[in-house]
Structure 1
Amino acid sequence: MDSEQRKVVVVGAGSGIGAATAAHFHRNGDHVLAVDLRPNQTPAARHEQCDLRDASAIAALLERIGSGWDLLAYVAGVPGTAPAADVLMVNYLGMRLMAEGMVPRLREGGAIVTVASVAALGWQERIAALTGLLAATDAEAVKRWQEDQDPAYPVYSTSKQAAIIVAKRLAPTAWQKYGVRVNTVSPGPTETPILADFEESMGKEVLDTVKATIGRHARVDDIVPVIAFLGSSQARWINGQDIHVDGGFVAPLVAGAPIQL
């Protein structure tokens, strides 16, 4: 892995995977900026607060932190139990504004890693349906788009599908113009403080089925090393990819029944 100290921004560093990600880089001796909505005790060299639902707050944060960074890990996310507008603003538009704003602030060879979700499964078939959302660049446009959608379709899945698509579309330009890579990590159910919210919004029986199939839910230390790898020089030729970190749950859903041994 990279041996010299790097400058890392972790967004959503207050708890769960984000806190574990910030702590990982801090232990490695990197200069970590921990960004979250609320004050927290996550180990880091510097802390900043930012409401990711507010584009002006994101712009102000970017102005304050300046340039010369090596990695943006966007781990912030809200579950489907939150208001639909908040889910889309934090999981999709906030991520997009942070990523687009950070690209020119990253050094050549830098990286952006966003945490998406296996709940985004099927994003390829949803590109046309998400055209209006992907064209929305402000909160009001996002809210107007959502008002016309089928309320039965999980907004959390929509938000993560959009995040993956935007990351893939940003990746070629970021690489060609700035030498910056953009990838996403899609965990399965993970033992974090908001797991209960996912049980409520997705159905506890669904998550119990996932757990029974692969033996357990993920832990944060299953996810963080993948974020760290994608943000490192060892992943220098990985760009525009979405990496499932789910214990193999999704594989038979997309490839067919497992081969029996």
Structure 2
Amino acid sequence: MTDRLQGKTILVTGAASGIGRTVATAFVAEGARVVFSDRDAAGAEGAAADAGGGAVGVHLDVTDEESVARAFAAVADRGWRLDVVVANAGVQLFGQDAPVADLDLDVWQRTLAVNLTGTFLTLKHAVRALSDRGGSIVVTGSPTGLNGEGRDFTAYSSSKAGVHGLVRTVAAAYADRGIRVNTVVPGYTETPLVTTISQDAASRAAIVGRTPLGRPGTPQDVVGVMVHLASDESSFSTGAIFRVDGGMTSL
């Protein structure tokens, strides 16, 4: 590690496991002071303790604006000023999400509540926290929001397409305040979120077969891009999509 984030304070949502935990831990190793946030408060606290470096864990349910506001206020109450926010929390309801004619309204609403409304609420409070001096917001997107990769996941694909549009809008609206907003698009990444695929040999082979680099992604694969976007190295990047998907969306 290179201490590229020395002196920065960063909040990561969905940081109790998966990509969020891996990225937040890497930020600590790069010298940042990191807030691991998750609706699983115990998981967030445990991940922060494991990371060391003064990291803290806080409860943050992205579907509840009061919870989001309290988490951001807790950072300020410590006397910390955020430089970077990573909006990473998300759900994918395997076995429930479906083609549109077969999709239950409840599944649609629960998916959008976390993935799209939750990202909206995170960005809303992130912009407020960063508006006095600028900073970087990084959002986790998905190939399903870019192409037909998620044709059987109507709610998830729609929520991620909405997230990509939200990022472009927020980036344009707040560029004059020095706030950069970018999307990172991991490909099929083996985390607890996708055990339904990773534990099914045929499903796993099918999705890996559509990835030109020929393997599934790991949370560590997105660390380099996330660190770059959190650092001052990305000071001229905003409203962009950074694909870390093994070439999946290049076809």
Class of the TM-score when normalised by the shorter of the 2 chains:
0.7 to 0.9
Aligned equivalents of 2:165, 2:22: Cα separation in 1: 26
Question: Is the 1:199–1:207 contact (alpha carbons within 8 Å) kept by the matching residues of 2?
Answer: no
In structure 1, the residue corresponding to 2:19 is in which secondary structure? helix
**Gaps (5+ residues) in structure 2?**
97-106
Structure 1 residue runs without a partner (length 5+): 124-150, 253-261
Q: Distance in 1 between matches of 2:197 and 2:128?
A: 35
List per-residue Cα deviations over 1:126-169 (Å, max 9, x = no partner): xxxxxxxxxxxxxxxxxxxxxxxxx9761100110001100100
The 5-angstrom pairing of residues 129-148 of structure 1 reads none
Name the aligned partner's letter for residue 102 of structure 1: A
CA contact (8 A) 1:71 1:111 kept: yes
1:226 aligns with 2:187: no
The match for 1:117 is 142
> Is 2:84 the partner of 1:71?
yes
| 1:158 paired residue number | 158
**8 Å contact from structure 2 (residues 143, 248) kept in 1:** no
In 1: Cα distance, 2:146 partner to 2:134 partner: 29
- The aligned counterpart of 2:127 is 103
Q: How far is 1:64 from its partner? A: 2.6
Do the aligned partners of 1:109 and 1:233 also contact (CA within 8 Å) in 2? no
> Could you tell me which of 18, 21, 33 is aligned with 1:19?
21
Aligned residues: 222
Instruction: Flag the 1:30–1:189 CA change in 2: closer, same or farther, 3 A.
Output: same
Cα 1:3–1:162 change in 2 (3 A) is closer
- Which residue is equivalent to 2:194? 195
Contact 2:208/2:215 (<8 A) preserved: no
* RMSD (CA atoms): 2.4
Aligned residue number for residue 35 of structure 1:
37
2:246 corresponds in structure 1 to 247
Cα offsets for 1:95-142 (capped at 9, x unmatched): 11111211131263410000011111149xxxxxxxxxxxxxxxxxxx
Structure 2 counterpart of 1:52? 62
Query: Percent identity between the aligned chains?
Result: 28
Cα separation, partners in 2 of 1:153 and 1:6, compared to 1, 3 Å = closer
Distance in 2 (CA, whole Å) between partners of 1:229 and 1:185 is: 11
Quick one: distance in 2 between partners of 1:27 and 1:199? Answer: 29
**Aligned-pair CA distance for 1:199:** 6.2
- How many Å apart are 1:6 and its aligned residue? 0.7
